[in-house]
Chain A
Amino acid sequence: MIAYILRRLVSLGFVLLIVSVLVFVLMSLVPGGPFTLADRGYSGAALENLERKYGLDKPVHERYRQYITSALRLDFGYSFAVAGNPPVSELIARIWPVTFQLGLYTILVSFGLGIPLGIIAAYHHNGLIDNFVTFVATAGIAVPNFIIATWLLLIFGFQNGWGEESKWIIGPLTAEGAAILSWDYFLPVLTYALAPLALVSRYTRSSFADVLTADFIRTARSKGLSERFIMLRHVLRNALIPMITVLLPQIPNLLTGSLFIEVVYGVPGLGKFFVTSIFNRDYPMIMGLVLLIALLWGLTYLITDILYTLIDPRIRLGETKGA
């Protein structure tokens, strides 16, 4: 098992290398450069000088070689587009805590509510809670979060005079960085949690419902085992595999932010930053964020696979099956 994990970590390193090549080439193939976009207003000699200053006059392979040699020494370059050209790693370290907290609270809310709701729904098939879960799952996905965000802002913001709109907006970062555990996160988390709540409750329900009709559950019941014991020992273990496959990747997904939530609530976070740096052609920033996200997801996939073998010892990884 440890050999397998080490192999996976080494191959993840190669995956990051391949991703860096692909994204670097992809970036340079998308038309427009950081200084040639129309709204920048540079032309002629000014443009040439800028491109030379940032090394953009060199061919792609040369630029990539430079990038990757410094990236391997953990120097990820300087942002092109952010005022003052701060280092990419410093910029990410400053922005990520806000998004990270938003994601963390969202994970706690959506998993904390979704798993119990899904379990109850599976046990009371077509009952009140079951229908409620179907409703929540539909509403949480079918009503886009920018609509919910806009409505919540209007209601809590000024319609009822419960507070000022700006109260619910996480302001620009202060010198001390992001506020920790502030009420400012309340509305964004409420909005952000709906879609993952839908996913969590729905997958939990269907995974449990699938196991509950199995013959071994009937056997366990007829043996006279307590319902609680059956659930913890028999149902949960068998329901977990499809659940963690889909639900665990929600963690890196939520921790790296959502464009729409961050735009509507004015959160200075990673999700919004990613999209703006793509539109600004802020190459070093895009690369830094892509590598960070690839690392997080790669580790999550590895953890998911390790959990499979812990949950079901029959599962063996890295072996070929005959036939």
Chain B
Amino acid sequence: MPPAPASLPVEPPEQLVQRSLLRDALRRFLRNRLAMLGAVLLSILLAVALLADIVAPYGLNEVDFSIVRLRPFIDPNHILGGDGVGRDFLTRLIYGARTSLIVGLLVPTISFLIGVPMGAIAGYRGGIWDFVSLRLIEIATAIPPLLFAMFLISVTGAGLGNVIFVLAITSWIEPARIARAQFLKYRETEFVLAARALGASQRQIITLHILRNAITPLLVSFTFAVPLAIFAEAGLSFLGIGITEPTASWGKMVGGSVKSSTVIVYYHLALFPTLLVALTMLSFSFVGDGLQEALDPARGE
């Protein structure tokens, strides 16, 4: 005997529910210390990325041969040291935030905007919708992203926009599968049946009733998608088909540091960008956890 669903099918008029739930959620979110910490950290990272031209102490491509591979915390003028060709490392990290945050935010956002509606309809409607979506998922899984990237970039040329396009178009599969599984499960629950019996429209059921209950694994998947996109961009650059050199990105900085067998002496070249990627992901995890708890009325108290 399968147990009953999470929410009881007691639904006051739609409008009221939505407004008070959102206000409650906002209050719970603001009270959640970790979630707020994540939100503040993310805002700082975004602000630094946007204001890179003002915040960065040196120019992006300013070279000073006396600081080639300078180790950090030695020269107060170059607090994080210098990179392999003598550029201030702090400056590179600040400009790298721009590329990496654009990739890390846009790629998951686009792939979720493609994947989630597709998976939701496949899971909820079933039948031919599910059949077609599943075949698309199977085909898309089998096409090697590297081959696809090489083809696209041979047609349109390398560049940030193309990198984002390639990564987004190859990463909608997981959100689509998660949404499909969640909708398959929830469409059969009693509260959905009740909502349908009360005359809720298909759109209301999908967005208001199921999505809100089904959102947790999607949030987790999003927090994982952010660092994965940042490193996938680096992977494409590493293979010579991504963003070209003077542009800075965290992923590329980490990738470039490994080519030399000097990781221990010049540890900063790998350490700082890795820490920033970790910090970005951690902030997203905190915000995601906070959202999940805020949206679940059973949790708040």
Q: Chain A residues in contact with chain B, CB under 8 A?
A: 11-12, 14-16, 18-19, 22-23, 26-27, 29-31, 134, 137-139, 141-144, 146-147, 150-151, 154, 159, 198-199, 202-203, 206-207, 209-211, 213-216, 219-220, 234, 237-238, 241-242, 245-246, 249, 274-275, 278, 286, 290-291, 293-294, 297-298, 301, 304, 308, 312-321, 323
A147 vs B202: C-alpha distance when bound (angstroms): 48
Which residues on the A side are within 8 Å of B144 (C-beta)?
Answer: 23, 274, 278, 286, 290
Which residues on the A side are within 8 Å of B209 (C-beta)?
Answer: none
- A323 and B202 in contact, given A23-B144, A138-B282, A216-B3 (Cβ under 8 angstroms): yes
Is A18 a contact of B139 with CB atoms below 8 Å?
yes
Task: Flag the segment in B51-59, B60-68, B80-88, B215-223 that touches A.
Answer: B215-223
A293 vs B7: C-alpha distance when bound (angstroms): 40
A294 vs B140: C-alpha distance when bound (angstroms): 9
12 contacts between A and B (CB under 8 A): A29-B151, A137-B285, A142-B282, A147-B270, A213-B6, A214-B5, A214-B6, A215-B8, A241-B182, A317-B130, A318-B127, A321-B125
Is A206 a contact of B292 with CB atoms below 8 Å?
yes
Closest to B155 in A: A29
Q: Which of A30, A275, A313 has the most CB of B within 10 A?
A: A30
- A150 and B254 in contact, given A242-B217, A294-B141, A323-B196 (Cβ under 8 angstroms): no
Is A320 a contact of B125 with CB atoms below 8 Å?
yes
Is B135 a contact of A141 with CB atoms below 8 Å?
no
- State which of B131, B181, B264 has its C-beta within 8 Å of the C-beta of A154: B264
User: Taking chain A's interface residues, is the majority helix, strand, or loop, or is none over half, making it mixed?
Assistant: helix
- Does B40 sit at the interface, judged by CB under 8 A? no
- Does B24 sit at the interface, judged by CB under 8 A? no
Is A26 a contact of B182 with CB atoms below 8 Å?
no
A141 vs B284: C-alpha distance when bound (angstroms): 13
- A301 and B184 in contact, given A146-B258, A313-B2 (Cβ under 8 angstroms): no
Is B147 a contact of A26 with CB atoms below 8 Å?
yes
- Does B154 sit at the interface, judged by CB under 8 A? yes
A246 vs B216: C-alpha distance when bound (angstroms): 13
Which residues on the A side are within 8 Å of B233 (C-beta)?
Answer: none
Is A234 a contact of B277 with CB atoms below 8 Å?
no
- State which of B127, B143, B258 has its C-beta within 8 Å of the C-beta of A19: B143
Which residues on the B side are within 8 Å of A211 (C-beta)?
Answer: 6
Is B147 a contact of A30 with CB atoms below 8 Å?
yes
Is A246 a contact of B299 with CB atoms below 8 Å?
no
Which residues on the A side are within 8 Å of B216 (C-beta)?
Answer: 206-207, 209-210, 242
- Does B198 sit at the interface, judged by CB under 8 A? no
Q: Mark B263-275, 1 if CB is under 8 A from A, else 0.
A: 1100000100010
- State which of B4, B138, B196, B263 has its C-beta within 8 Å of the C-beta of A215: B4
- Does B74 sit at the interface, judged by CB under 8 A? no
Shortest distance between the CB of B113 and any CB in chain A (Å): 19
Q: Mark B4-20, 1 if CB is under 8 A from A, else 0.
A: 11111000000000000
Is B147 a contact of A27 with CB atoms below 8 Å?
yes
- A206 and B202 in contact, given A144-B274, A290-B144 (Cβ under 8 angstroms): no
Shortest distance between the CB of B293 and any CB in chain A (Å): 9
Top 8 A-B pairs, shortest CB-CB distance: A320-B127, A294-B142, A142-B278, A314-B188, A242-B217, A216-B3, A245-B181, A214-B6
Q: Mark B138-177, 1 if CB is under 8 A from A, else 0.
A: 1101111011101100100000000000000000001001
Which residues on the A side are within 8 Å of B270 (C-beta)?
Answer: 147
